[in-house]
Amino acid sequence: MPNGIAKRDLPAKTCPACARPFAWRKKWARDWENVVYCSDTCRKKR
pLDDT at 1: 53
Residue 19 vs residues 1, 2, 3, 5, 36: alpha-carbon distances, Å: 34, 31, 31, 25, 11
Q: What is the pTM of this model?
A: 0.77
* Chain-centre distance for alpha carbon 2: 22
The torsion defined by the Cα of 31, 36, 41 and 44, in degrees rounded to 10, comes to -100
- pLDDT computed for residue 40 by the predictor: 94
**Residues 16-40: what's their mean pLDDT?**
94
In this predicted structure, the answer to whether residue 2 has a pLDDT above a threshold of 90 is no
**Which position has the higher pLDDT, 6 or 3?**
6
Write down the domain spans for the chain.
Answer: 11-45
Is residue 30 scored above 60 in pLDDT?
Answer: yes
Question: Which residues is 12 bridged to in the sheet?
Answer: 23
Separation between Cα atoms, residue 41 and residue 46, nearest integer Å = 9
